[in-house]
Structure 1
Amino acid sequence: MRQCLRCGYRGDGIPYFRKPLHAVLLAAVSFPTFGLGGLVYYASHRRNLVCPDCGHGWEHARKPGEVAAVESPPQVPSRPGGAPSPSGTGPVPPSGIGRRVVGVGLGVVALLSILAGVVDGFVPEAVVTGSIFGMGGSGMFLWGWQALQWRRRAVMQALGRRVLRMATDRGGVLTVTEVAAELDLSLEAAEKLMIGMDDGFRVRSDITDQGVLYYEFPELRHQERLQPGKEA
């Protein structure tokens, strides 16, 4: 059993062409090239395994223990003297903009092909070709949209880890303004980030007597007084 580095799926990879999107792409490549493009595409990918969820190449997957050692969020250390926290967030997944552009392009080609087939007295070949391109374009756009969501999730997780390091350095109390200044975010983006982290338990918000909204991290604020539980 292995774990996908992109989406975290645990299990076994599946053959490349068992993914519906890849099968649609195979058909889309085969039809306009009279099968030659599809044959080349199939021959170059037929032995590949991919993640069942996101379609990422299974050759990049790792054993769960290895993934945890490489990708698990770093532990929040206690830095004496308020040493500055690291500013890097590491690489993030691609946004899938290329896939979305290709998907839109295929959709335009599909629309033009179908319109041409209908206007010219219903030409079945043109309609079928347009339908295939439309399916391929839809699948490609969806693939790119999923990549965009994975990227956003990765960015928010990376920012959350930096907020935890900030909270450790500053005694477990932060304001939105401090987060915005430290992470180079707008006040709106910093506020959205902190609201997303506020679970009322490990991170909770409160207002001072002067009307200042702040976020408290109880586990970090009272870290020195925390004692391990005693065995029964």
Structure 2
Amino acid sequence: MSTTPPRPLSLTERRKAATQLDIARAAAELFAERGPDGTTAEEIAHRAGVALRTFYRYFRNKQDAVAPLLAGGAERWRARLAAAEPGAVPLREALERSITEALSVPDEAAAEGLRWTRGLLRAAAGDPALRAVWYRANQESEERLRPVLAALAGEDADPLEVRLAAAAATDAIRVALEAWAQTEAPPHEAAPLAARCLRELTGGVRLFSPR
């Protein structure tokens, strides 16, 4: 099985993504300061430096605005996994390596990103709409992971095994981040916790077993 490399983003698409990320960061900052209930879409737009109509062009409501931040980590580890050479290392090892690299904190910007995630997951515990955004981000991540795993597993891979592997891997990261967010552990402890959850949850998945 082969996958078509994604086409480069156009300038317009890059600008759109940058604006969405600016809004997402503004929303995360305000949620951390005031909580979702104490924050309005107008305040998020003002903090991001965009018009309210621009906010609603990209997001349906204030909770949706943080989706780019919540999905960013998954995008990074899928990209790392997709770049792996099929068969070079066992699939579980390639997946664990990509997740560990994506959650690493080589600089303060990466650490700050994880701290934002912690704040959002804590806020989501008391906000059903924000929690729904988090669950949707994980569901979309699982769906996008399937073709990546299928390409690495090879043409003979059972589609059901691929789907189970994608679900197990996605849930491993979700559980790890949720558990880490409820503690005061420093950002660099998120990656090893995610690796542990991955090993635990994929232990019975045949796609990751030696053939």
Q: TM-score, normalised by structure 1?
A: 0.31
How high is the TM-score relative to the length of structure 2? 0.33
Higher relative contact order (CA 8 A, sep 6+): 2
Q: Structure 1 or 2: larger strand share?
A: 1
Higher helix share: 2
- Greater radius of gyration (CA): 1
